[in-house]
Structure formats: structure tokens, C-alpha cells
Amino acid sequence: MPRQHRPLPSRRNTTRAMRNLDEHTITAEVLGRIGTKTDPRLRDILQSAIRHLHELAREVNLTEAEWLAGVRFLTRTGQMSTDVRQEMVLLSDTLGLSQLVVAQSHRRPPAATEQTVLGPFHVEGAPVRISHGTMLGDRSPGSPLFVSARVTNGAGIPLEGAHVDVWQADGEGLYDVQKPEWELGRAQLRAVFCTDEQGRVSFRSVMPTHYAIPTDGTVGEMMRATHRSPMRPAHVHFRIVHPGFDPLVTHVFAADDPYLDTDCVFGVLSTCLGTFIRREPGAAPDGSVVNVPFHTLDYTFILHESL
Amino acid sequence: MPRQHRPLPSRRNTTRAMRNLDEHTITAEVLGRIGTKTDPRLRDILQSAIRHLHELAREVNLTEAEWLAGVRFLTRTGQMSTDVRQEMVLLSDTLGLSQLVVAQSHRRPPAATEQTVLGPFHVEGAPVRISHGTMLGDRSPGSPLFVSARVTNGAGIPLEGAHVDVWQADGEGLYDVQKPEWELGRAQLRAVFCTDEQGRVSFRSVMPTHYAIPTDGTVGEMMRATHRSPMRPAHVHFRIVHPGFDPLVTHVFAADDPYLDTDCVFGVLSTCLGTFIRREPGAAPDGSVVNVPFHTLDYTFILHESL
């Protein structure tokens, strides 16, 4: 008897389900189509994506008109994306996906500087500049800012030769890539420095302000439709790379900014608050004399050894 | 005592959670940002989308490199989409989302013709042609096909004046929009007809064959990476619209096609199988004489009254 069994009911159901799929039976059929030779990691991710996509559509009983609106929204988000206008990244940022992935990818000990989103305004290949004496943003609006940063390991030992990629908005809240005259060779408020033997870089730039993310695209439509604030608190971006350490991508936020608790990309971390000190006109940290009020920022980045 | 309570712990946690969000606490914060004035339906859909997107990323412990690959994949899918190359629709089709939404949007009584996906090759505004005597695809490869279709209500009463939008691939498996010389005014194998007093349309076209969906884009990359067949069984598309009836979007599939059980967009329904009969050279249904073998298709579409 045990040897003479009929085909398993589940198998027969599967065979029948290849046609006349309904909103429930279709999910197993789609998952089952992924070939056995597929890279196992890709299969896991894709199967999870398919399950969640289908569950979303069933859960809200998505209509064809809503489906089409979603398809068009994603299509337009891709279409308006360029090397310097990364609308799909911005969508991920404003849906909290980017910071979620960052958080689960960089669990660090409390002493190490925390990771936050890269954001849509980073550009690979920014000009390499000499630290100590360089002025960024000579054509950018904003009051002067003198940044002095130190890079150390977890024991406070300075790290020489670390690459420090810096980018920031100007005093009107705009990045250089957002301006029509943008070209990489004429980058403003964007450079790569190298730390000296004391683990230091310093440079002059302009004081960034809080700003609205670009709202003239699909993300802007979403923010308006959901009555969300598009504001981000003032910050300077840093990406710091040194052999043997987990690359650090982070911001230094202005500790007194009014938008710290409503950052539209959910990226604010207490360990990434910097004190931008307002100074009266006079001698600046770089030895020059400045005849308008200016700000200074001193900040230490603590890298985390790679495993 | 009851009146003099401290702030609720949950409220305090929420306040704290606005900074230092981790991969778990971020979801509630993103959901909470959707404004109270948001359209309730949009809020429901977006909240479900955010929850499923976050759960997917946590479930597979998505890395930054995988996140970036996904962002780039969706960006390119949008970028390569045009009016006639709807890659985002094709992605939805091949992930089974389109047929899922169609299935849950058109629950019909057993007698009515079932709904299947619109697909990426429909074009609005196809030329209106006179039924009975029209030949579609005069420059398209393939052996002759004579289609006679009837449109009725659930009681078998013919529906006069129904608009019948027809589009199909040719005998080499290509739609007109896939060819470089495509322009709407020179549409091949694509037209809108109007049913006569007997609820009929008839036309001559070419016998479609099974075909591979376009595999030179992002969807093709996915199909290859997951070792999936890109084939669709041979079919003719119909969209039939008549006042007072649920618009019918469907295919008529060749009942003997070898790919019926592995349709890559999951759209095959038993009630949508048509018998394409092979005929020897001789007298054709339209009164002409055809000196090569040809096919005929007779099919009745049963529309479902709208509520």
C-alpha cells in the first residue's frame, strides 16, 4: 500500500494552478518559476520582494487605476534620474528605506561615529584638494565656515592618510549639482582631502543652512500629497575611507537646527551633532582676517576597525 | 493620583525615536510622518507599501550594495520606458503583479469572458477600421488568419456598437511597435472595430505565433538571472467596451500552444482558449480565394453587466 500512492494533491493543485490563477494562487506560481540554478541570494531577495509586492496589492485590494498610477510614478522617477539628479535614491531616502539599510549594515560600538545616508547629492570623483588653506565654494553664497576635523581609531590614535570626501549645500540650501552651470571640474563645496600625520583635515567653506529636498519631481508630488515637510536640518556630508576600517558615510548636523526632529530622510543621530560656533569678525582659524561674522566647526570622527 | 500621571512611556519613546532610528524603530516614524490631511486611500496604500518595503529589507537583511543594485535596476527600468516600450509594465507583468490586480478587480460570473493583462504593447488611439473586409498587417509576415468574433451579453443577446480594440504579434512574434519604422498612422495588426447589429466583427490578419517578451532590457536581465522562460503562448489581444458593461480586456490564446502552462506573465485562462483551425488553400470566410494554407478563428465574447 505505501508504495502505490496517487500523485500528491499539492502537486496536482500546482499543475492546475498554471492556468486560471487568481489573486491568491498566483503568488506560489510566480515564486516557483524562479529556476533552481538561480544564485541563492538573488532568489531569496526576489522571492521576498514578490511575496511582499503581492501581499501589498491584496492587502489594500489595489485597483487597476491605482496600479497604473504606481507604475507611472516609478517610471517617471526613473526617467527623471540622471547622474546628478538621483530621484530614485531620493524616493528611497524619503521612504526611510535608505536609513534602514544603513542602520542594519553598520552596527558599531557606541564610541565609533555612526553611519547615515549617502543621499542623492554625492558625486564620485570630486576634485582632490590640499588640506589646510583650501577654500571651497568661492562662488557660493553663505557666511564663512572654518572646518577642522580629526580622524582617529577607537583608541583615539590619529589616522594619517585617510581620504575625506566632503560635500555640502551652500548658505541658500543648494548643492552645486542643482545649479544649471554644474560641471565636475568647477565643483563648489565638494572635494576630497587627505588627513595629515595628526589625522587632521581643515578647510574653509560656507555655513550650510537647512533646506528643502528637491520638490519639483515625483518625490515632491508624494511629499505634498502626504502633507510631509521636505526639510532637512543643516549639515555637512563626509565619507571617510581608510584601509582596515569600515568606510564611514555620515553627516555632521548643526546641533541647534530646528529641523533635527523632522528630518525628511530620517538620518539624524545624536552622535553626529556638531557645534557650529558663531564668531565675530576678526582672526580666523586659518590665520586670515575675516571682516564678517563666521562659524567654526571642530569635529572628531572615530572609525571602526573592519572585521 | 489618577490625574497626576507622568507622560506615557510610549509617547516618550516616540519622541526619542525621531533621532537615532534603527532598522526597527524607523518604520513607525516613517508611517507617522504621513499627514492627517492625506487622502485616506492614498494613506492606506502608502502605509502598506512602506511596511512591506521595510519588512522586505529586514527579512533578507538587505545590504547597501544590494540596495544600490535595486535602485539602479528600477531607475534603468524607468529610463528605458517610452510610450511604446513599457518596461515597467513588463516588470509588473513578469512578477505576476499585473495579473493579480486584474484578477481581484474583475470577479465575473462563470459565463462571462475572463479578464487578463493589458500587457505592454497596447497603444491608445489605434486606427478605426471598417469591419468585414478589412485586412490588418498587409506588410506583416505570417500566414493568413480570418477572425470572426461575436460580442453578447450574459443572455446571449448580441451587442451592437461595441468598440473592439484588437492588437497582436505577427507570424514572427513581433508587434508593430517593436519595429524601427513604427508610427501610429502605419499601424500593423492593430485596429479598433465596431460590432454590427449581430454583435459581430470580422477581419483578416496573420496567424500569431508564440514569442519571447523583449529581453534586451532590465526585465530580460531578471529573466536570465532567474533562468525563467521569456515565452508567451500565441494570442490575439482584445479590449471590448460597451456602455453598461464592465470593459473587457482579454486575450484569445491558441488552444494547442505548447507554452500555455508556462506563460511568463501568468495570464492564461481556460475560458480564453480559442480554436485556431488550419485550413487548406481555397475559399476563405471573407469570400476571397487564398492560395496558401490559412487559419480561422471564431470566438464569442460575453460581457458582464456593470453594477
What is the third-level CATH fold of A91-302? Protocatechuate 3,4-Dioxygenase, subunit A (2.60.130)
Query: From the CA of A18, how many Å to the nearest CA of chain B?
Result: 5
Question: Is pLDDT above 60 for A217?
Answer: yes
Query: From the CA of B287, how many Å to the nearest CA of chain A?
Result: 37
- At A10, the pLDDT band (50, 70, 90 cuts) reads very low
Residues in B touching A227 (Cβ below 8 Å): 34-38
What is the three-class DSSP state of A138? coil
8 Å CB contact between B84 and B177: yes
Which among A21, A35, A270 is the nearest to B226, CB-wise? A35
Residues in A touching B73 (Cβ below 8 Å): none
Task: Tell me what pLDDT residue B17 has.
Answer: 53
φ/ψ of residue B126, rounded to 5: -60, 155
Task: Tell me what pLDDT residue A132 has.
Answer: 87
* Residue of B229, B23, B92 whose CA lies nearest to A70: B92
Give tens-digit pLDDT for A243-259.
Answer: 999 999 999 999 999 99
Give tens-digit pLDDT for A233-244.
Answer: 999 999 999 999
Give tens-digit pLDDT for B212-260.
Answer: 999 999 999 999 999 999 999 999 999 999 999 999 999 999 999 999 9
ipTM given for this complex:
0.90
Question: Is pLDDT above 90 for A140?
Answer: yes
Return the domain boundaries, chain A.
Answer: 9-79, 91-302
Q: For the stretch B131-157, what's the b/e string if a residue is b when 16 or more beta carbons lie within 10 angstroms of its beta carbon?
A: beebebbeebebebbbbbbbbbbeeee
Which among A21, A97, A105 is the nearest to B99, CB-wise? A21
Residues in B touching A225 (Cβ below 8 Å): 38-39, 42
Give tens-digit pLDDT for B56-114.
Answer: 999 999 999 999 999 999 999 999 999 889 999 999 999 999 999 999 999 888 889 99
Query: From the CA of A102, how many Å to the nearest CA of chain B?
Result: 7
φ/ψ of residue B68, rounded to 5: -65, -40
Q: Would you call A227 and B36 a contact, using CB atoms and an 8 Å cutoff?
A: yes
- CA-based R_g, chain A, Å: 25
Task: Tell me what pLDDT residue A186 has.
Answer: 82
Distances (CA, A) of A12 to A3, B257, B279: 18, 21, 36
Domain B87-302 class? mainly beta
